[in-house]
Amino acid sequence: MPHCILECSPEILKHCDQQVLMQRCFDAAISSELFLPEDIKVRIQRLENQKIGETALTQLHTEVKILDGRTVEQRKHLSKKVLQGLHAYLSETGLTQVSLSVEISEMERASYSKVIF
């Protein structure tokens, strides 16, 4: 845990190195000091269609799924770290007109299942 899911508009993916984008998210999760590196999973989902109000904004929304039990302060800290890490990278690429957001969602520990084989 966590699962970091980056939902990106095509415009963002055109201007970014996807491996670097994922690494920045990974590094931000590590910097939160809430997880071990081997527990962090990051993936990108391309948004084929999107609409943000009546604007020309592109979008990067990151959902970070974590097991329940973290405090509000820990979740807020994680959200800020991921937002800062991704914002820094997107700024380096020269992108503008981006809607960047981070959502922390909790998964119920009692019902989460996983196997590695």
Q: Mean of the pLDDT values across residues 30-50?
A: 93
**How confident is residue 1, by pLDDT bands cut at 50, 70 and 90?**
confident
Which CATH number covers residue 27?
Answer: 3.30.429.10
Q: Is residue 56 part of a domain?
A: yes
Position 116 in a domain: no
pTM of the entire predicted model: 0.91
Is 35 within the bounds of a domain?
Answer: yes
What is the number of structural domains in the chain? 1
52 pLDDT higher than 80: no
DSSP result, 9-72 = -HHHHHHS-HHHHHHHHHHHHHHTTSS-GGG-EEEEEE-SS---TTS--EEEEEEEEEES---H
Domain that holds residue 95: 3-111
